[in-house]
């Protein structure tokens, strides 16, 4: 991979991130020209306290002065204090981040593995019963919102059978020791993970199936069969590696969304991650929290798309030669 290609992609990612930072500044000032008006304790603030809050939030001076203060704060990772909890926003995010990484990370891994397997098998056996059944199921899953799956699981699995908890990260007040607490958390994760897996499984299966069907018509597969390779070898060595290329970008975007969390799923299951924090911030007009969450989620998507560009170039030399 050439240095020119790497430098071009890194500069592009930095310019995109810079655009997000600028957009993030103006977006939340367009939404509310006086964010302090949403502060819960505003009625108890004295004039001096109000001036202190305005200065701390970077709302004094002209728009250019505010923008300079905002950029400096972003570089220091200082996003102010949450209107809801009055705690530092960065501390609130880092406290909830592990829960979201675990939930969305596990579900993303399962979705990638299962979806790519289904799409590969369906595309390789185009027109078979498995292809027709899996493609129909993938279309249904792809078109159904994930929160609907969550509500169904809550009503029919957690509610009627009582096999799984209806929400939360762990049982309140329970102390089972290290192994017991780990199993308790896994028990609470089953339904949310299943919800996200079902919600995003269809997209991977459909994209991989389409890519496999396009790959089957390539000349190198005919050559591989002419050399006497078995179908399993042709599929694993030649068809699948090339068919995976379109899925790289989708995987990168999915990994980027890990930071943002699954807002609707975490809300349905009252799971204390970044998704629920985003929903609460919207509900409570917590603009400092919203601004920081938007920036973190955008930065994660940009980072993983940059990684996808590098991986794509490693897998397909034609991309490097085209640059």
Give the start-to-end residue ranges of the domains of the chain: 96-305
Angle (CA) 99-105-107 rounded to 5° is 105
- pLDDT grade for 282, boundaries at 50, 70 and 90: confident
The rounded distance, in Å, linking the Cα atoms of 89 and 277 is: 11
- pLDDT grade for 15, boundaries at 50, 70 and 90: very high
**10, pLDDT greater than 80:** yes
Residue 165, by phi and psi: left (phi above 0), alpha (psi -120 to 50) or beta? beta
pLDDT in tens, 39-94: 555 556 666 766 776 666 666 667 777 788 888 888 888 888 787 777 888 899 99
- When pLDDT is averaged across residues 180-207 and rounded to a whole number, the result is 86
Q: What is the pLDDT of residue 127?
A: 84
Q: What is the pLDDT of residue 16?
A: 92
Q: What is the pLDDT of residue 43?
A: 53
CA 193 to the chain's CA centroid: 13
The rounded distance, in Å, linking the Cα atoms of 47 and 288 is: 21
Which of 31-45, 167-181, 239-253, 307-321 shows the lowest per-residue confidence on average (mean pLDDT)?
31-45
The rounded distance, in Å, linking the Cα atoms of 236 and 320 is: 24
Say if CB 2 and CB 288 are below 8 A apart.
no
What residue has token string 């917590």? Answer: 286
Q: What is the pLDDT of residue 114?
A: 92
pTM of the full predicted structure?
0.79
Q: Could you tell me which CATH number the domain at 96-305 has?
A: 1.10.3720.10
**Which tokens sit at 246?**
């379109």
- pLDDT grade for 173, boundaries at 50, 70 and 90: low
**Which tokens sit at 148?**
């609907």
**163, pLDDT greater than 70:** yes
- Of residues 141 and 174, more confidently modeled: 141
If you count DSSP H runs as helices and E runs as strands, how many of each does the chain have, helices first?
16, 0
**273, pLDDT greater than 80:** yes
Mean pLDDT (the chain) is: 80
Q: What is the pLDDT of residue 320?
A: 54
Q: What is the pLDDT of residue 65?
A: 77
- pLDDT grade for 281, boundaries at 50, 70 and 90: confident
SS (H, E, C) 66-103: HHHHHHHHHHCCCCCECCCCCCEHHHHHHHHHHHHHHH
- Output helix, strand, coil percentages for the chain, rounded to the nearest 5: 80, 0, 20
Q: What is the pLDDT of residue 306?
A: 85
């Amino acid at each position: 991979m050439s240095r020119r290609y790497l430098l071009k992609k890194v500069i592009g990612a930095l310019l995109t991130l810079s655009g997000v930072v600028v957009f993030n500044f103006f977006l939340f000032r367009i939404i509310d020209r006086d964010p302090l008006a949403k502060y819960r304790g505003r009625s108890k603030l004295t004039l001096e306290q109000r001036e202190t809050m305005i200065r701390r939030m970077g709302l004094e001076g002209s728009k250019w002065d505010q923008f300079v203060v905002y950029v400096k704060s972003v570089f220091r990772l200082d996003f102010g204090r949450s209107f809801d909890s009055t705690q530092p926003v960065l501390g609130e995010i880092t406290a909830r981040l592990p829960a979201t990484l675990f939930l969305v990370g596990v579900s993303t891994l399962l979705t990638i593995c299962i979806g790519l397997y289904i799409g590969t098998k369906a595309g390789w056996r185009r027109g078979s019963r498995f292809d027709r059944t899996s493609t129909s199921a993938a279309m249904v899953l792809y078109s159904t919102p994930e929160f609907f799956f969550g509500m169904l699981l809550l009503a029919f699995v957690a509610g009627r059978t009582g096999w799984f908890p209806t929400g939360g990260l762990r049982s309140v007040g329970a102390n089972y020791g290290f192994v017991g607490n780990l199993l308790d958390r896994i028990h609470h994760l089953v339904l949310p993970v299943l919800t996200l897996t079902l919600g995003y499984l269809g997209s991977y299966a459909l994209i991989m199936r389409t890519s496999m069907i396009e790959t089957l018509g390539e000349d190198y597969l005919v050559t591989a069969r002419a050399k006497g390779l078995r179908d399993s070898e042709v599929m694993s060595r030649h068809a699948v590696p090339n068919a995976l290329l379109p899925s790289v970008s989708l995987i990168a975007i999915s990994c980027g969304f890990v930071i943002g969390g699954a807002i609707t799923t975490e809300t349905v299951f009252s799971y204390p991650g970044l998704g629920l924090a985003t929903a609460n911030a919207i509900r409570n007009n917590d603009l400092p929290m919203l601004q920081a969450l938007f920036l973190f989620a955008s930065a994660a998507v940009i980072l993983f798309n940059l990684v996808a560009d590098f991986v794509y170039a490693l897998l397909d030399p034609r991309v490097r030669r085209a640059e």
